[in-house]
Structures are given as structure tokens and as C-alpha cells.
Structure 1
Amino acid sequence: SANPAREVAVMSSSSRIAVFSRMAEDQLYLNRACLVGYCDLNASSLRALLGIEARVEFWDLDVPGLPCGRDDGAQQQLLLPACERWDGTPPMEGELKPLQVLNLKYEQYSLILVNSHVPPSRVHLVMQRVFQLFEQFKVSRVHLLSCLHLPDAAANPIELLDDIDNRADGGAARLTETAFNGAADRLDPGLPSLDLTASPVRDAFLCCFVQFALVDRLPFTLLACVRHRAKVASVDSPSVAAFQACLADRLGLAFSLERSLNGIRFHRQPVSAGGDSGMYV
């Protein structure tokens, strides 16, 4: 079985992602260690993971009750990709889908990408499917990445720069890591933790993930970059860079920051769609 603590080989021989098809099995699977990214405050977690430089397999993540695809005039609501490859940049071998799993061939990690603005009333459907897969494939290590908004500075143990929109360099980004359910595999034990009960967390995906994990007693860590502003720059380069630097240093994974920042176009959620459900951890 996979050892989550083993040293991971870095794939640096190619700047492009090579796709391998499974010959013996054509069904979605997860490796024992998973990294999760989603449409957070500014898609920083998605951008960070989409910059992976490794040999991967692409799998659609089918969720019952959540059809994906382009609007074909049907009455049912379809999920669309929030992050797409920017025209004119070298495409990665594999189309970005609204719900997707990228399995790293050699590093034994799976990237779970919720690349869509899932309505708060439907987030639980995604969680049911994801946590079913966690159990099915005996996933033993999970790290959820998130750039989130905490309006109460008292809930944050580190000093943050609030003027990210007004600085040419985007401001500084510092990470926190919070362990849940006794998770022993922290990425960096030296990072401070967040107290998510000290301030309202208006992030339906994050709240639902935490709730499912508490019920299932799934150990995981939340690697978060916290912003006190509800709206930040469309491309939060410091957060993306911080995520990638941590994962590269602690897991030995390789990333392209340039591709994450300049090769991806993020479609923000329309205001009329309703962005948060008012859920709290």
C-alpha cells in the first residue's frame, strides 16, 4: 500500500502534462493521498493545483443530480467549468471539466478539482460522492486547499495585508494549516492554525466539507490563505505561489506558477446566482 510519508519523486523533465490511459481499468479511482481544490474566494486553490507538472490521468467526476456540460436549451441547470485554459497558451493534454479528478501516475496523489460554481443547495451532492470515494479507496491522507474570507481579524492568528487590491505585487500571502479529526500528516507543523468557530465562514463548500468530515471522522488538514477582504484581485498570485511552494517543499511535487497565473481564465460567479448560503462551521 502507498506510504503517505514517503519521499515523492519530482517530475521535471517536461513542462507539459502527459496523459496516460489505464489499460486494465477504465473506472475512476483515487490514490491514498488526495489534494482538493475548488472555487474558493478567487479560485486560488484551483489555479495552484492546475499548475501541476507531472504525468497524470484525467477522470470525470460524475455526481448524481449534478449534470455537467454546455447549455443546450435544457431546463435543468448544468454545471460549467469556472477555470478554462486561456486562448493562445499551450493547452494541457486534457480538457478541464466542472468536476474532475487528476491522478498523478508516479507521485501517488490524486487531485480532486471542483472546477465549477456549485449552487450551495447542491454542494452536499458533491460531498456525498467525494466522501463515498474516500471510503471506497481507503484514502488515508487529505489536504483541502482554500483561499477564504474571514471578516473578523481576531479569528486569524497571523497578521495579514488587507491592501492586496492596491499593491502592485498583490500583497503578501501567508498560509495557515488546521488539522481536523486528529490528522497527523500535516504539511507543515510550523504553520499557525485557524479557529473557524471564532468568525462566520461564508463558504458553503468549505463548511459542507468540514461537516461531512466530522460525521465520517475523516482526518484532514485545511491549508488556507486568509483574506480579510471579501473581494480580492482576479488573480491572487501570492496565494497561488504560496500554495505551490508549500506543496513543492513538503510533498516534492512540481508546479508551473506561470501557467497557473497566465494560462487560466477564471469565470466569476454571477451575482444573481447567489454565492453563499450563510453556512457556518
Structure 2
Amino acid sequence: MPYSNRVAQFEPLEDTGEFKLRKTVFLGYTDIAAGGIRALLGINMRKEFLTINIPELRDNNLGVESLETLDPRDQPYAPFQVWNLKYEQFSVILVNTKLKSDRCHFVCSKIMDICTKWCVDKLIVLSALRVDIAINDDTKIYENVINDMPLTNCPELPGDTSMNDPFLSTLIQMVQVEYVPTCFLIIPAHRACLGEARETDGSKQVNDHFEHVDTDGTGRVRAHLLPYNTCTQSLSW
């Protein structure tokens, strides 16, 4: 099934250069442990930046802040930001704010707009999620796919698994409607505490698991996500 043939409506951009989303896109958001967003924010590579202003997020604060001095080549974090890694063939979408349930559809709609505008081949969503199933201690990560083939050998979360994540629930509905090939990499987790990632609330372990994601059997994607340093980030929600 082809992409929807429609024109995406954008708010004014802070960077109006020749920015084009790559065919593979990683998405991180402020999940229950801020695991996906921390892992992606910590990527230490040269980047091109695109910040998109969503009016409904105008008064939102950052979910995760940097504790380091800003590199002159970088831009400050924003509630909704896109990176192209200059020497790699993938982009990163960052939803770096705590979303109220009635704001999720605005953000998910914008994600679908830019994915369809640039005909993304694969959207990879990193999510830490509280789940209501018995967890095997040997299973660190689960994979569920929509409109695509699996990337890993990780088991699926059962289809009847309950979740309390309005953003993820909304995104799942929209990728089905827009037919965007999407892979969800999910780590069972609990709510993280304010401040840096730590072992006592499990947030450091979540970050470590995302660090070692290997999506093609060669370690290539794992290498892309390294090195990152979650010690330089602070959860501020």
C-alpha cells in the first residue's frame, strides 16, 4: 500500500536549510523511564538540526536536560527536534517533553507528516514500558512490528498486553492508518526518578539495554548508538 498523497503542514522551522529525513529513522520520547529519549540524546556524533515548533507544545518544558556545556556546533534541546547524523544513514526524531494525553495526537500527527513527506522506509521506536505480563529474566527487550519485517530475534509482546502509554497507543494507531513501516523495540520498565539515570529505579539498566540493541546481526546499529553518556542528562519532569 502506498503512502498517503497529501501535503504536510509545517510550522516555521528554526533551520530552513536543505534538510531531508533519511530513510531509516529512530524515534525516542519521554516514556516512563525516559529510556529511549536518553539513549538517542546521548549520541555523540556530528549532527544537522531541525527544530519544529508545534503550537500545542508552546508552554511545555523539556523532559530531559543536558548537564554539559553546549558545544558551539550543537543546538539546545527542544521539545520536538530532528537530527540527521552527518556520517550515518539514519535520522533521529526526539520528543523531549512530557506529553499530556490530549496533546499526543498533535505530536504523532507531526511525526507522520514528516515520515510521509520524506517517504521513510523504516521507523524504529525505542520505548520503556510498564507491562502486565510475566517477564522472563533472560528477556531484556521485545520487538513488535507493523507494516514491516522484524529487525531482531527478540520475542514479541503478546497482542493483548495492556499498556498505559497514551503517546505509544496513539502512534500505533497512526502508523497503521498511514502505513508507515515501524518497529517498536520495547523494554519493560518502571517510572524513573528525577535526575540522572540510576540503578535504584532501573533507568540506568534500561539505557544499557538500548545501548546494546543489535538490529541486523552485525552490531552495526549498536555501533551507531555509541558512544553515549547518560550521566550528562537529567530527567526534569
Moved more, 44-53 or 27-36: 27-36
Are 1:175 and 2:141 an aligned pair?
yes
Q: CA deviation at 1:245?
A: 1.6
Aligned equivalent of 2:213, options 202, 223, 246:
246
Query: Cα distance, 1:27 vs. partner?
Result: 5.5
Contact 1:40 1:146 in 2 (8 A): yes
What are the equivalent positions in structure 2 for 1:6-25 lying under 5 Å apart? none
Q: Which amino acid aligns with 1:263?
A: T
TM superposition shift of 1:151: 2.5
Alignment of 1:1-281 (within 5 A): 26=17, 28-63=19-54, 65-68=55-58, 78-86=59-67, 89-92=68-71, 93-153=74-134, 158-160=135-137, 174-181=140-147, 183-184=148-149, 186-188=150-152, 190-195=153-158, 197-227=159-189, 230-232=190-192, 235=197, 236-246=203-213, 249-251=219-221, 252-257=223-228, 259-260=229-230, 262-268=231-237
**Structure 2 counterpart of 1:46, which letter?**
I
Q: Is the 8 A contact 1:31 1:109 kept in 2?
A: yes
**Which stretches in structure 1 are left out of the alignment for 5+ residues?**
1-21, 69-77, 161-171, 269-281
Q: Deviation of residue 247 (structure 1)?
A: 5.2
User: Deviation digits for residues 151-178 of structure 1, max 9, x if unmatched?
Assistant: 332xxxx514xxxxxxxxxxx8711111
Gaps of at least 5 residues in structure 2 are 1-14, 198-202
- Structure number with greater Rg is 1
- Measured in 1, the distance between the counterparts of 2:141 and 2:220 equals 13
Calculate percent identity across the aligned residue pairs. 25
RMSD after superposition: 2.3
TM-score normalised according to structure 2 size: 0.81
Q: Deviations over 1:95-133 (max 9, x none)?
A: 111111011112121100000012110110111111011
- How many residues in Structure 1 have an aligned counterpart in Structure 2? 211
Q: 1:79 to 1:247 in 2, by over 3 A?
A: farther
Amino acid at match of 2:75: G
Q: Distance in 2 between matches of 1:231 and 1:112?
A: 22
| Mapped partners of 2:106, 2:84: distance in 1 | 22
Name the TM-score, length of structure 1 as normaliser: 0.69
